[in-house]
Structure 1
Amino acid sequence: MKKGLLSALLILTLLLSFSSAAAAQNIPINEITKITVQGNDYVGDFEILNAVQTEVGDQTDQEALRADMQSVFDLGYFSDVNIVFENFEGGLNVIFEVVENPVLEAIELSGYEGLYTAASIKNELDLQTGTVLNVKKMNQNLKSFQEKMQDDGYILARYKNVNISDEGVLTVEISPGRLDTVEISGNTKTDNDVILREMPIEAGEIININKIQRGYQNLYRLEYFENINPELERVDSENNLAKLVINLDEANTGRLNFGGGYSSTDGWIGFVEASEKNLFGNGQNIGAKWQFGDTTTYSLNFYEPYLMDTNYSFGFSVYDRETDRTTSYSGSDESLDYIRKSKGGSLSLGHPLPKDWSTSLRYRIEDTEEVWDETNPDYSDVIEGEKFTDTELRSLTLSFNRDTSNNRFHPTSGSINNFSVEYAGGFMGGNMDFTKFNWDSRRYFPGFSDHAVAARMKLGLSDPRTPLGGEEYDLGGSDSLRGYERSDFDSADRANNNLLLLNLEYRIPFNESFTGVLFTDAGNVWEDRDSISLDDLKYGYGLGMRMNTPVGQLRLDYGWDEDQDGQLHFSIGNTF
């Protein structure tokens, strides 16, 4: 009988109620001269009677005593509560008869593997062995723990069985909810494996909605699909199984773009670009570009995110670039034009790390020469067409990257972090010898309504063992310190070996295609690391407009420098 009562109390209701059938019947109307408790071996009389509102000297009241019985029952220590009466000193002795729950001797857990440790679950239940089981506390803590499982993403997790034996052993069996299968629909080009490898959950694993959401974000970042709609469907309620259905609408991943314009970084430009982000549906990226104007570039790049079906990524690029640039010249107030010619390429190998980090190792080779432009004035010490820089760069770069931003064009949360160390010269060869440390950190925050706040800090430190030449840091222009041209910080009398850049933007989307921006920038470049100072920063501020197009995001900014001189900046792609 006792075991039956306990089982009824412990069946996953989590909210216990007191049955009115247990209330005293035919209560005699008389003065209460004593109140006592019987049946309690472990729970003290004081704790029980403290829950009783009826006092000695009161007249018996059926509703009041019914409420007292409920209050005693709600203490959680008893499987049954009743009231009996006996005559005492001319009145009635009201006796609360209680049946205590078993003393908790042990807690046995099952089904929790892959969710939490047994110790952490017992800590959440907060039940002390060696004491009478408090069912009220147990049910409250079971409910809180189930809410924790839901909050942690285990949306199908539930209790399969909760019971207490006569020997005081509490059994808690959890059914975590597992993934039966993954079905994909709508992909006519992309291979199933390309999609499945982006999902951090497989058939047979415990379902976690956070993993499914992360997989959705991974697929979204691929830009292979116009619409992605993952759904969970129950397939076996008894065994708590569900299947994941990923509904897709594929996008056009091939591009043939051409156009022209003015970039404050590259001057007047025209370009023709062909690319395919999902080559043959295998998830590979290949692209070729011809850019002409003040900068002429021929480039070819290829990227394989899963080399030979492993977690290693592989990429290579080759390029040939010629750029018209300007610098000041020692002993002259005027600027001089020169041409930088670069040929090179790179090979990279990457691998994911825990907590959304990834790492890559890149080998880069580049040969650069700089010659004076024939349009320069006739300076006695400048010979038209003379080669004044000839460098051979061979370097290795180790990078660590993490991207948790929630949107490619208009992120409102998350961050992007990149840290890299580049080593050139030494055993690598070439005639350039340096070590560069680069840190680029970006954070995104929600603003008013659907607005966003974006912040970036970029730090570059170099240890040049030979002059950096073309590897010096650039500052000024559309991608860094707006309101200034790059030539404002480029000098033949100073090497830009170190850089600090701070950017802050407030972004206001007008619709899916247009976004307005208010910005302020601060930064500078220094030759010596000891010269870096926040008091030596140059400041710029302004406003701009972003337009999303099939070519990418077009960017137009107008910035003012510290002297209130304005500069118009046009470029392609988001600032940061």
Structure 2
Amino acid sequence: MRKNLFFGSIILLALLLFSGVTAAQNIPIDEVTKITVEGNEYVSDFEILNSVATEVGDQTDQESLRADMQSIFEMGYFSDVNIVFENYQGGLNVIFEVVENPILKEIEITGNEPIYSRDKILEILDLNLNTVLNVKKMNENLKSLQEKMQDDGYILARFKDVNVSDQGVLTIDISPGYLNSVEISGNTKTDDDVILREMPITAGEVVNIKKIQKGFQNLSRLGYFVNLNPTLERVNPEENTANLVINLEEGKTGNLKFGGGYSSNDGWIGFVDVSEKNLFGNGQNIGVKWQFGDTTTYSLNFYEPYLWDSEFSFGFSVYDRETDRTTSDDLDYLKKSRGGSISLGHPLPNDWRTSLRYKIEDTEEIWNETATANGVSAVEGETIFGSDNELRSMTLSFNRDTSNNRFHPTSGSINNLSVEYAGDFLGGDMDFTKYNLDTRRYYPGFKNHAWALRMKLGLSDRKTPLAGEEYDLGGSDSLRGYERSDFDDEEANNHLLLFNVEYRIPFNDSFTGVIFTDAGNVWADTDSIALDDLSIGYGLGMRMNTPVGQLRLDYGWNEDSDGQLHFSIGNTF
């Protein structure tokens, strides 16, 4: 018996097939009258002979007998197999001499803690103690363990040493492969800390390619960089270490966005939006927006993704909005709103994130008569009635983004679930609860095309009128081919259901064509919600990438085949 069985970093049974099988030389040609086994103590004769093809009555054949020896060896229980002959009853007794592997008494595993627990590895090895070590089974399961480490992202992990002693102690030494350092090149504006905090792996940890890929998805979603190229460089093969080098090229993070459109009710409307999503290279987002037309809005937004270098995010917004419209009854309607919000967020497991927002808004509504409305005469400009509303609400949100690209996703999903509670102990004179779900899915299409799907659901449980908090439908961001005013329920838009499907066809780096179908509606009561009560819109669109952002032009038709042009910025969803 050999004093040691040693197997290299990746153990292959083929290495042993030709060293453990002794070739049968000068085999006498005669009839086989008996077949026996010698040297086995724990593995039964029946189990061994079951793998032998030669039978009593056959003529001896060198190739056949060598194949039998190899079959016995491939059972995995033996470190050596030989064959001898003796005369027996006018023929030959073919004797297979075997040397059994040691009885497996103990399994020692080192270097595995950063990857899997001892129990997990023993489960994969599936070896029984106090039985003859089955080398074939061990090799196959070690190979499975190696493949699992690779599949789970541990691309540097390998077996540093695998051996079994005469005393039956199997020792497995795993070298996981550690990250020596993380180096960054190409950033002239963005702080290193802003980049490193998006990487879920740091120096000293076991190298895991899935964590590295996740980090680069996080960096890509920031929108700060036009090119990202990660490389792993070996440092010390003996210690199995490597450096992660992040090569990147920064893009423009300041944007001037504008958009507009024409409405038969409201005339021309538009907006100008100035934003910086990497303020001073610190990863903060700030934006100022001006909207003009039937609604004039001034707003300021700020977002800090890592408040005081913690996992908490912080944001606030303030706005001043004034809406001026004329209804179909020739009533002038003026609505003034001022308010703001603050929010705190924190990450959750499995890429989810939660946030809590407090919102305050004061609204003033004034109705004037321009001619005669509802049989009531008044001097032009006279105030018929007015109302004031105070909104105080808290919104709890859960969000998850696994899309592969922030601007042109072809796989993954975005999910947003929120509950907004207003009134009661929060104050104000509006009392309601709103439940909102916005889920989006992205799939690859033909060649580099992509499918984009969205479902949006809004439900409200109100004790007082929503008074401006109703759901809006129609226009460039929801149901194209329609105006928002096409979906004003006589009572209130308390509930909403919307479906969007787009097929996106990139022509080149600058232009993308879109074919879309939208379906949706709003209702006053939950009993009225029905899939057969959805309005349908469909059409064609074009996206153009410019230095100031992506411009969007859509032309949609409603169910009456009336067309509507929509002009805005960025993907619909």
TM-score between both structures, scaled by the size of structure 2:
0.94
Name the structure 2 match of 1:396. Answer: 394
Is 1:574 the counterpart of 2:547 in the alignment?
Answer: no
Name the structure 2 match of 1:331. Answer: none
Alignment of 1:49-198 (within 5 A): 49-198=49-198
Is the 8 Å Cα contact of residues 105 and 130 (structure 1) preserved in structure 2?
yes
Alpha-carbon separation, structure 1, partners of 2:149 and 2:382? 71
Is 1:424 the counterpart of 2:454 in the alignment?
Answer: no
Residue 312 (structure 1) shift: 0.7
Is the 8 Å Cα contact of residues 8 and 159 (structure 2) preserved in structure 1?
no
Name the structure 2 match of 1:515. Answer: 512
Is the 8 Å Cα contact of residues 24 and 82 (structure 2) preserved in structure 1?
yes
Deviates more, 1:376-385 or 1:274-283: 376-385
The 1:413–1:262 alpha-carbon spacing in structure 2 relative to 1, beyond 3 Å, is same
The 1:416–1:13 alpha-carbon spacing in structure 2 relative to 1, beyond 3 Å, is same
The 1:29–1:88 alpha-carbon spacing in structure 2 relative to 1, beyond 3 Å, is same
Is the 8 Å Cα contact of residues 330 and 373 (structure 2) preserved in structure 1?
no
**Residue-pair matches, total:** 567
Alpha-carbon separation, structure 1, partners of 2:156 and 2:195? 24
**Correspondent of 1:350 among 336, 345, 355:** 345
Matched to 1:360, the amino acid is S
Is the 8 Å Cα contact of residues 514 and 546 (structure 1) preserved in structure 2?
yes
Alpha-carbon separation, structure 2, partners of 1:376 and 1:93? 121
Secondary structure of 1:2's aligned partner: coil
Name the structure 2 match of 1:502. Answer: 499
Unaligned 5+ residue runs, structure 1? 329-333
**Correspondent of 1:531 among 528, 532, 544:** 528
Deviates more, 1:144-153 or 1:280-289: 280-289
Name the structure 1 match of 2:40. Answer: 40
Is the 8 Å Cα contact of residues 31 and 58 (structure 2) preserved in structure 1?
yes
Alpha-carbon separation, structure 2, partners of 1:517 and 1:533? 28
Is the 8 Å Cα contact of residues 12 and 161 (structure 1) preserved in structure 2?
no
Alpha-carbon separation, structure 1, partners of 2:201 and 2:440? 28
Deviates more, 1:24-33 or 1:455-464: 24-33
Alpha-carbon separation, structure 2, partners of 1:427 and 1:488? 36
Alpha-carbon separation, structure 2, partners of 1:335 and 1:146? 77
Is the 8 Å Cα contact of residues 79 and 99 (structure 2) preserved in structure 1?
yes
Deviations for 1:480-507, whole angstroms, at most 9, x for unmatched residues? 122221111114x311111111222222
The 1:302–1:178 alpha-carbon spacing in structure 2 relative to 1, beyond 3 Å, is same
Q: What is the aligned-residue RMSD (CA, Å)? A: 2.2
**Correspondent of 1:560 among 554, 557, 566:** 557
Alpha-carbon separation, structure 1, partners of 2:133 and 2:431? 73
Matched to 1:88, the amino acid is Y
The 1:260–1:224 alpha-carbon spacing in structure 2 relative to 1, beyond 3 Å, is closer
**Correspondent of 1:449 among 447, 450, 458:** 447
Alpha-carbon separation, structure 2, partners of 1:223 and 1:530? 43
**Correspondent of 2:477 among 472, 476, 479:** 479
Alpha-carbon separation, structure 1, partners of 2:62 and 2:371? 109
Is the 8 Å Cα contact of residues 337 and 376 (structure 1) preserved in structure 2?
no
The 1:573–1:528 alpha-carbon spacing in structure 2 relative to 1, beyond 3 Å, is same
Name the structure 2 match of 1:489. Answer: 487
TM-score between both structures, scaled by the size of structure 1:
0.93
Matched to 1:521, the amino acid is D
Alpha-carbon separation, structure 1, partners of 2:163 and 2:50? 29
Matched to 1:541, the amino acid is Y
Alpha-carbon separation, structure 2, partners of 1:142 and 1:266? 71
Is the 8 Å Cα contact of residues 259 and 567 (structure 2) preserved in structure 1?
no
Is the 8 Å Cα contact of residues 83 and 96 (structure 2) preserved in structure 1?
yes
The 1:59–1:324 alpha-carbon spacing in structure 2 relative to 1, beyond 3 Å, is same
Name the structure 1 match of 2:464. Answer: 466
Name the structure 2 match of 1:311. Answer: 311
Deviations for 1:175-199, whole angstroms, at most 9, x for unmatched residues? 1111111111111221111111010
Residue 395 (structure 1) shift: 1.1
Residue 408 (structure 1) shift: 1.8
Name the structure 1 match of 2:261. Answer: 262
Provide the identity percentage. Answer: 74
The 1:172–1:148 alpha-carbon spacing in structure 2 relative to 1, beyond 3 Å, is same
Alpha-carbon separation, structure 2, partners of 1:60 and 1:198? 70
Matched to 1:362, the amino acid is R
Secondary structure of 1:469's aligned partner: coil
Matched to 2:503, the amino acid is Y
Residue 295 (structure 1) shift: 2.6
Unaligned 5+ residue runs, structure 2? none
Secondary structure of 1:530's aligned partner: helix
Matched to 1:112, the amino acid is N
Matched to 1:369, the amino acid is E
Alpha-carbon separation, structure 2, partners of 1:305 and 1:551? 23
Alignment of 1:249-328 (within 5 A): 249-255=249-255, 257=256, 259=258, 261-262=260-261, 268-325=268-325, 327=327
Alpha-carbon separation, structure 1, partners of 2:170 and 2:500? 58
The 1:392–1:102 alpha-carbon spacing in structure 2 relative to 1, beyond 3 Å, is same
